[in-house]
Structure formats: structure tokens, C-alpha cells
Amino acid sequence: MVGSRAGSQNTPIGLVLARLATLGPVVLAFPIGVWLVFALGRDRDATADGIAWVYSVGLFASFTTAFWPLGGLRSWSLERRLESAVFLFLVVSYVTHLTWELGWLLLHQQMAELRDVPWAYVWWAYIDGGDMRYATAPTELITIEILSIVNGLMGMTGIVLWIRSGHTDRRAILLFMATAVVHLYSTSYYFLSEILEGMANVDTSSFTDTFIKFGLANAPWITMPWLTLWWGQAVLRRLDPPTVNDPR
């Protein structure tokens, strides 16, 4: 079985290091950005652009690490590499839903007043040029974020079921696949609603704001769900293979 096989062996050190090298800068970018802007007085827009590049490129790269030509991965099948990539994406997604997005949902009414508050730069680094809807909090964006929080709770439930079952609980896979569908729907709606409005909330004069903050930063949630669905159906077939009638 794909799930049980991948869970039975330790992650190669090369893969661990590759993920630390790609995700580490993503985690550090925001506190360093806060220090640069509020302690050293650096330009907040230029700093936000730098954070956007580190976050967007680092995050996307981290999801590809299982496919890198690392020595410890030479014996891994395509399915096992896919599972590793998908599971990392799911964990990052659910953590993002229940931290950054939940925080914004709780504070969105005060967000405009928090522009110059250091800890709120976690959100304003994206809002500045990336999407002003997070400052004005229209109803459709609030709705999307509520769906994201529910998605995160469903996904974390799936992770608990998956780990407790030793990677054999079909319900976990179904929850992962369900969250993938919600990712596809909500991210497509997020992109299309802004595009159809003529990108009114994005600074289209800036390449970084348009294609990195608004585009690449959100792109994993329109691409990785397809891999999640492909992996999920492969695991379900192995956990519950179809019965073949004996013609005799």
C-alpha cells in the first residue's frame, strides 16, 4: 500500500535538508521583515516585495523536493514521491488556514487600523500591493476564508485519523480529497473574482505584486490539489482493491 509503505520508513536526510532549505527562509521571512521595517526603518513596500519572493518561490520549491535527484530518494517510486509531496502540501495548507487566515478572519474588522502595528505586518506584507481586499474585507473574501478555516479543521481531522490508523484509514483519504476540492473551488473563485473586476485591488504596475504576491503565492492551491486527488484515488484502490469474480 502506498500509505503504509511511505509511513514505514524514515525520511532521507537529504529530503529533510532540502525542505529546511526551502521552508526555513519562508518561516524566517516575516519576522525578519518586521525587524527591517519597524526596527531599522526600511521601506515597507520593498521589504514586502522581498518577503513575497522568498515566500512564493520557497513554498513552491518545497513542494517539489520529493522529485529532486537526491541520493536517498533513488529507490522511491513515483507514487511514494507523490505522497511525500502531497502530504507536505496538505500540512502546510492546514497550518496556514488555522494561523494566518484564521488570524485575519478574527481581526479583519480592525485590519485597516493595524497597518503600522509591527505584529500585523504578517498580514500587511501581503496586503501592500498584493490584494487590498484583505484591508477592506468584502463579504465574498470573508466567505472564502471561513471555508478555508473549515477546510483546515477537516484536514487536521484527516491527519489525526491517518496517523492513528497507521496510514490505513480510508476516511482520512476522503477528507484529504474533500479539502483538495475546496482548495480548487475557493482559489479559483479568489483568482477569477479579482480578474473579472479588472484587478482593481492589485497593483498591476508592479510585476512582483501581480505575478508573485497575487499569482505565485496562491498558485500551489490551484495546482497541488490535482496531485492530491490523483494520489488519493491511488491509495483508495490499494486500501480497498476491487473484487474480481472467479469465472470458474
Q: How many domains does the chain have?
A: 1
What's the CA gap between 174 and 178, in Å, rounded?
6
> 245 lies in a domain?
no
- The residue among 140, 125, 123, 146 whose CA lies nearest residue 197 is 140
- Domain encompassing residue 216: 2-239
> 113 lies in a domain?
yes
pLDDT in tens, 95-129: 999 999 999 999 999 999 999 999 999 999 999 88
Residue whose C-alpha cell reads 500509505 in the numeric block: 3
Q: pLDDT tier at 216 (50, 70, 90 boundaries)?
A: very high
> 52 lies in a domain?
yes
Decide if 231 contacts 224 (C-beta within 8 A).
no
pTM comes to 0.89
Q: All 3 cell numbers of residue 68? A: 529532486
